[in-house]
Amino acid sequence: MKLSKLFRWRKNQKPEEAPSPKAKAARPSKRPSPSAKPAQSAQTGGQKVDKPGAFNAKIGSADYRLEPFTEGGICVVMKGIPKTPGHPKLAIKLVREQWLNHAAVRRQFSNESQIVRELNHPHLPKYRARGLVDGKAYYAYEFIDGVPLINLSQDKTRFPPELVKDISRDIVGQLLLQLEHIHGGLKPVAHGDISSENILINNRQQIYLVDFGCAHFIKQAHKESYQWLAKPSFISPEQARGDAWDNRSDLYQVGILYYELLMNKRWNIGRSKRDKVLFAASNDRQNDDFLKNVVDLETSAIIAKLLDPSPRNRFQSATEALQALGMK
Ligand SMILES: Nc1ncnc2c1ncn2[C@@H]1O[C@H](COP(=O)(O)OP(=O)(O)O)[C@@H](O)[C@H]1O
Ligand SMILES: [Mg+2]
């Protein structure tokens, strides 16, 4: 099954029911924060340009125009448009003003840029540079022209109903292949914050996992595992309990994503952050057939296994999950 069917289908919907992914991508999902503005100062060496909050700066060896793009919980992302041809568009990530005083956030941001530097996969954004703008640390990586999956899942006419199962499986398969890459190799990384906000889908139906803001090198001894940076709706039981977490926590989050794609509703039904953490920490094992009304029994059992509260009872690797899905 090709996701192109999804995009053809969405194109044929009435515009007010299904805004095109492109139109959504062009609109920042949140208003740019004021923290993006101070970077206009002369220290950047950049001059002010028309768009509010936009400025010029050298990123790596090339000149860029930086425009406020969007923001997450901790960071601001700016879009870097090259001023000379032959350079890629960039996403430039900076810590939001209000978090700059937190030593742990600054440490993790530096950790994040080191992790992104190590990524080398056709479907993970490539690292380009890091440095300072207006005295604030940034790192820059390839800009992905796409929309966060959450924009699709909040859409009433999200997926053509007859294709939901195929589309969900395809997205989960692509994600598992990316996880297989980051979990393996010489410097295995656990992502820790897989969610429908941190996965972008482009109009070639390719998904890209972004936001390594919660990630850590699995082999590195670390005192803090930064689970408090993970999205509460997607937090794994071990993250919720404050225990050590590894690649199997990512597989739990894949289970949540699979569930939410199929059901178009939230897995974690907690209302406040506290309730969400409690929900994640105390959930029982689902019966293998818990999704029997939606998918075949085999797929239901695979999702139950991804969502097993105990990491030991889950798939132990993305490869195992891909094999169970018949994708390897
Ligand atoms: N490389 C990228 N290309 C395009 N958009 C991106 C890229 N990286 C992040 N974004 C967008 O910016 C948002 C915020 O970035 P993110 O890394 O998730 O910040 P935070 O750590 O604060 O959550 C993401 O949800 C995504 O929509
Ligand atoms: Mg994020």
Element (H, E) at 318: helix 318-324
Closest CA to 93 of 79, 83, 107, 81: 79
Q: Which residues surround ligand 2, an ion (CB under 5 A)?
A: 72, 198, 211
Point out the ligand nearest to the CA of residue 148: 1
Give distance in angstroms: CA of 194 to centre of ligand 2. Answer: 9
CA distance 259 to 281: 18
List, in sequence order, every residue forming a beta bridge with 190; answer none if it has no partner: 216
| Pocket-forming residues, ligand 1, beta carbon under 6 Å | 70, 72-75, 77, 91, 93, 125, 141-144, 148, 197-198, 200, 210-211, 213
Residue ranges and CATH numbers for the domains of the chain are: 24-142 (3.30.200.20), 146-324 (1.10.510.10)
Quote the pLDDT of residue 41. Answer: 34
Supply the pTM of this predicted model: 0.85
Give distance in angstroms: CA of 113 to centre of ligand 1. Answer: 13
Q: Which residues contact 65 (CB under 8 A, 6 or more apart)?
A: 49, 54, 55, 56, 80, 81, 83
Angle at the Cα of 225 from the Cα atoms of 219 and 226, rounded to 5 degrees: 140
Residue at token pair 């929309």:
147
CB 207, CB 200: distance < 8 Å: yes
Element (H, E) at 79: strand 75-82
Name the closest-CA residue to atom 15, ligand 1: 72
- Give the mutation target among 59, 111, 198, 228 for probing the ligand 1 site: most ligand atoms within 8 A of CB: 198
Name the closest-CA residue to atom 22, ligand 1: 72
Per-residue exposure over 31-67, b if at least 16 CB sit within 10 Å of its own CB, e if not: ebbebbbbbbeeebebeeeeeebbbbbebeebebbbb
Residue at token pair 């289908």:
9
pLDDT along the chain (328 residues), means of 10: 53 43 36 36 42 87 94 91 95 92 90 93 92 90 92 67 90 97 93 94 89 90 70 94 93 97 93 94 95 97 98 98 97
